Every structure is written in C-alpha cells, then in structure tokens.
Structure 1
C-alpha cells in the first residue's frame, strides 16, 4: 500500500505518512522474517513522509 497509494493520490494534495512497525506490534506467532520484511517495505516506499518510529511509552489499564 505504501508503494501504490502515493501514485493513486498524485495530484490530490494528499500525502502518505509511513512509520516503522515496532517489533512489539507483531504477534508471538509471526514469522521470524516478518520484522525484516516490514522494515524493507517501509524503507523502500517512495514519495512518502517518514515518521519517527512509534514506541509504547505506557499502557492503559481498563476496568473489568
């Protein structure tokens, strides 16, 4: 999507923003190659705004 969406939106004034996928977002059952694949996809995307990697700084605890 980060490779084709900028082309589809060309001329509309809309910009695509991309951020790295934090390893903790992946499930334990994800392939060991998943993080490398996702990093490669975000690194090779063209004509997109790069955002700083998102990291968990705190978590909310819901009431049960």
Structure 2
C-alpha cells in the first residue's frame, strides 16, 4: 500500500514529523468507522430492496 512504501516511511521518519501511522489488520470492521455506516445502510436501505431509479435510491439514503 502507498503508506508503506519507502518514500512515505522516509518522509514520516523526519525528526519533526508528528504523524504516526497505526496499521490496522486487513479485515477489522470493528475498528473502521465507515464499516458501521455500511452496515446501517445495508440493513435499512439496500437489504432486500430494489430501486428502479437512482433518484429513488438517493432519496432512500
């Protein structure tokens, strides 16, 4: 991934860099906030539903 390449590691290792990356496991939905949103959307908007138009889908969201 881009955040693990040598150029990024070098940039992050600068003495005054205050950015620290925390590596998450490849699949860890309970640590990834967007996964909660996808679960809610799936349960309440897309689960077992069909929207004939994009406008109807957008309105449901």
Q: If the length of structure 2 is used for normalisation, what is the TM-score?
A: 0.31
**Greater helix proportion:** 2
Higher relative contact order (CA 8 A, sep 6+): 1
Q: If the length of structure 1 is used for normalisation, what is the TM-score?
A: 0.30
